Structure 1
Amino acid sequence: MTDAPRRPDPIPLTVLTGFLGAGKTTLLNRMLRDPALADTVVIVNEFGEIGLDHLLIEGVTEDMVLLGAGCLCCTVRGDLITTLEDLLRKRDNGRITPFRRVVIETTGLADPAPILHALIYHPYLVMRYRLQGVVTVVDAVNGSATLDDHPEAMRQAAVADRIVLAKADLAGDTAALRARLAALNPSAPIDPPDVPAATLLGGFFGLDGKAADVRAWLGAVPETDGHAHDVNRHDAAIRAFSLTSDAPVPRPAFEMFLDLLRGGHGPKLLRLKGLVAIADDPDRPVVVHGVQHVVHAPVTLPAWPDDDRTSRLVLIVRDLDPAFVVSLWDAFLGRPRIDAPDAAALTNNPLAIPGG
């Protein structure tokens, strides 16, 4: 009796986004010259204007070209899911060189949520790709005005794992914009445009697909005290905060907490990511990744990546009171507060969740 073939390791995938004119093209062209992107597939959409002519070597297929850095580049002319599946078929059948990672460059008007949904929800893609992170480019010159006028730009910045501040040399003082971005998304480092590609792509799963710096991936977001601190009126609807637990979390309580949060407030949950110690196996933490009402099946790590065994969940929400979420978390952990919701009532009627 022969053993079943081993499932291939998931391929790390990074989403590169940013509003129109932010500087994604310049950043991506620079990254494509970096040896760290060798054996990478770059997916651009049909509206892309990436200057690839000086990097082209030869055509591979009608929609795919081989780049000088050893990367492949293809154009999305339809469904992103179809494109990702087609790449896997070509890779598995030996029609293209096996690639080690994927970078998706979105159109400037894109809301990243649908792309993230596909990457963490599709039953086949979730086995073959692993979302490594979201990199958002922000224009230092026009960034504040863009955030004021375009909700897509707000969402792009809010869901980022890293923010690249482009054109800072033309903007003068960027302190106010940096403060606004930090308040909008405290867990995302703000990098200059010359940051090495390995740093931008070295998210939680690392360039080799293994766990890297969990602390950097989660970011340092203090646990909320339930009080809003407005940066300005445009950002008031979006909040970032974290939930923690020093003690391992009972699996049923954790699963019910996630079910109630996404079931009653899914559209308001812009991003969720975390590392949690489950009570029945506390030595092997689970990684949680979610966007709106879709939460990726938790991935169990073989061991903790460092000595800190605190369970940490980072949430970015829109039009949802962080104090309510903290109260719900406390209730399911058995540390209810005076203003905690009635967990039994919520279980029987998820639609009754306050603020829904």
Structure 2
Amino acid sequence: MTEQAAMDGPIPLTILTGFLGAGKTTLLNRLLSDPALADTVVIVNEFGEIGLDHLFIEAVDGDMVLLSSGCLCCTVRGDLVAALEDLVAKRDAGTVSPFRRVLVETTGLADPAPILQAALSHPYLVTRYAIDGVVTVVDALNGYATLDEHSEAVKQVAVADRIALTKSDLLTDATRPEYGRLRARLRRLNPAAPLLEAAAGEATADALMGAGPFETSGKIPDVAAWLREEAYRDAEGDGHAHDHAHDERDQDSHDVNRHDSRVRAFCLTTDRPVPMAALDMFMTLLPSAHGAKLLRMKGIVNVAEQPDRPIVLHGVQHVLHPPVALPRWPDADRRTRLVFITRDLDESFVRRMWDAFTGTPAIDTPDRAALMDNPLSLRRG
């Protein structure tokens, strides 16, 4: 450690987490537009074979690191430690732009306990970084059902120092009572964390950052237990062990596209421009038939009618957000890329449907013609 680094003190490290589709990247873009976060390094973790989130994060004054090794509760933990070590080494050497804060945006499937344990106990990281709060993003529309179905979401809420509620502006008279139940449930899971509504302008950089050193006091007892469990696993040298029910063939080597035997990540791509009519049909049929199994869908599409202005798509289960046309391509890759994270939905089923609607040769002509005549014939998988 250099003398200047010692004088500067530990670098604040904020963890931004929240389940798939909660709105982490949207909130992150809003936060990074605040001058107070100008000198921030962002580390983005993505679950799956092709990373796209970094394309949707707008220009940052500083650097951005993309960790694409997969599930942050498992394989990316070592990569995160290495990335944090590398950052301070380059900062000390003056080979990167000076930064004053690091923000880690986790994948939506992340169990935050191993991340916290690594940052709290690593003998070198604790001298260079100080956890300055865990911010958890919760979807006002789907949050209650997500807590019912996914243990990761419960942990993300329980460890939070701040909870940012998104999409409350989309509530209706029919969904508002469940939102009230969601807020009450969040209070039970984490009595001390403030609930801040992003749509109301409450989830600002000032409100979310600067929570101070991470403490288990004020949180439910499970949080301390989870951290003790991770410490025990570290002592046993079992860095990849965790609660999730990986099937037997995953025990020797973890598949980065598999979080458990029911959750899969995959990417559909094509070099051909996609007609808007075909895209509309695909994006209408798939959520209507299998929305509950679509944990997350996001992508960038080369639309035939406007090849210089790609369309960005975001969807969570049955909810498909209105497509947004970008003014230009964010990088040199002009392929259409759609990333899916599904539960109990076979990749081959989605791929066959995609091939049929886009005219990709991977599906034979009779099947394509039959599907176009009767799209519901593929309602299985």
TM-score range, shorter chain: 0.5 to 0.7
> Deviation at 1:119?
0.3
Question: Residue 196 of structure 1 corresponds to which residue in structure 2?
Answer: 204
Distance 1:73 1:164, change over 3 A: same
- Structure 2 residue 75 is matched with structure 1 residue 72: no
Q: Write the distance in 2 (CA, Å) between the matches of 1:218 and 1:80.
A: 22
Q: Once the two structures are superposed, what CA deviation does each residue of 1:307-352 show, in whole Å capped at 9, x if it has no partner?
A: xxxxxxxxxxxxxxxxxxxxxxxxxxxxxxxxxxxxxxxxxxxxxx
Counterpart check, 1:101 vs 2:101 = yes
- Tell me: CA distance 1:6–1:175, structure 2 relative to 1, closer, same or farther (3 Å): closer
When residues 115 and 218 of structure 1 are mapped into structure 2, their CA distance, relative to the original with a 3 A threshold, is closer
Instruction: Give distance in 2, aligned partners of 1:171 and 1:89.
Output: 46
Residues 25 and 49, structure 1, Cα contact 8 Å, conserved in 2: no
Residue in 2 that maps onto 1:186: 191
The CA deviation string for residues 192-231 of structure 1, in whole angstroms up to 9 with x for no partner, is 11321122112125xxxxxxxx9xx888x5xxxxxxxxxx
Residue of structure 2 in register with 1:148 after alignment:
148
1:32 CA drift (Å): 1.2
Of 225, 228, 253, the residue aligned with 1:292 is: 228
Contact 1:135 1:163 (C-alpha < 8 Å) held by counterparts: yes
AA partner of residue 181 (structure 1): L
Counterpart CA distance in 2 for 1:54 and 1:149 is 29
- CA positional deviation for 1:240: 2.3
Q: Tell me if structure 1 keeps the 8 A contact 2:62–2:97.
A: no
1:105, distance to aligned residue in structure 2 (A): 0.3
Indicate how the Cα distance of structure 1 residues 5 and 150 shifts in structure 2: closer, same or farther if over 3 A, else same: closer
Structure 2 SS opposite 1:270: helix
Deviations 1:221-279 (A, max 9, x none): 5xxxxxxxxxxxxxxxxx827xxxxxxxxxxxxxxxxxxxxxxxxxxx4248xxxxxxx
Which runs of 5 or more residues in structure 2 are unaligned? 70-78, 232-381
What secondary structure is seen at the aligned counterpart in 1 of 2:29? helix
Q: What displacement does 1:77 show?
A: 3.9
Give 1:270's aligned residue: 223
Within the alignment, does 1:176 sit opposite 2:175 as a pair? no
Q: Partner of 1:55 in structure 2? A: 58
Structure 1 residues 109, 54: CA separation in 2 closer, same or farther (over 3 Å shift)?
closer
Q: Which runs of 5+ in 1 are unaligned?
A: 57-66, 206-213, 222-238, 242-268, 273-289, 296-356
1:29 CA displacement: 1.1
After TM superposition, the structure 1 = structure 2 runs for residues 290-329 of structure 1, keeping only pairs within 5 Å, are 291-293=227-229
Q: How big is the alpha-carbon RMSD for the aligned residues of Structure 1 and Structure 2?
A: 2.6
Q: Structure 1's 171 and 11: CA in aligned 2 closer, same or farther, altered over 3 A? A: same
Shift of 1:51: 5.8
Say which SS state the counterpart of residue 74 (structure 1) adopts.
strand
Q: Name the amino acid aligned to 1:240.
A: I
The aligned counterpart of 2:6 is 7
1:29 maps to 29
| CA deviation string 1:97-137 (max 9, x = no partner) | 22111100000001001111110011000100001111000
Aligned counterpart, 1:240: 220
Tell me how far 1:52 sits from its aligned partner.
Answer: 4.6
SS of the residue corresponding to residue 292 of structure 1 reads helix
* 1:10–1:128 CA contact under 8 A, matched in 2: yes
Give, in whole Å, the separation in 1 of the partners of 2:164 and 2:22. 10
Letter in 2 for 1:93: A
Runs of 4+, deviation exceeding 4 Å: 51-54
TM norm structure 1: 0.54
Q: Relative to structure 1, is the Cα distance of residues 6 and 188 closer, same or farther in structure 2, using a 3 angstrom cutoff? A: closer
Residue 110 of structure 2: SS of its match in structure 1?
coil
What is the SS of the residue equivalent to 1:109? coil
Counterpart-to-counterpart distance in 2, 1:18 and 1:53: 17
Q: What letter is aligned with 2:228? A: Q
Q: Deviations 1:135-191 (Å, cap 9, x if unpaired)?
A: 000011000100000000011111111111110111242211100100111011100
C-alpha spacing 1:51/1:192, structure 2 compared with 1 (3 Å): farther
Amino acid at match of 1:197: A
1:53 Cα deviation (Å)?
A: 5.9
User: Contact between 2:29 and 2:57, CA under 8 Å: does it hold in 1?
Assistant: no
Contact 1:29 1:52 in 2 (8 A): no
Percent identity among equivalent residues?
54
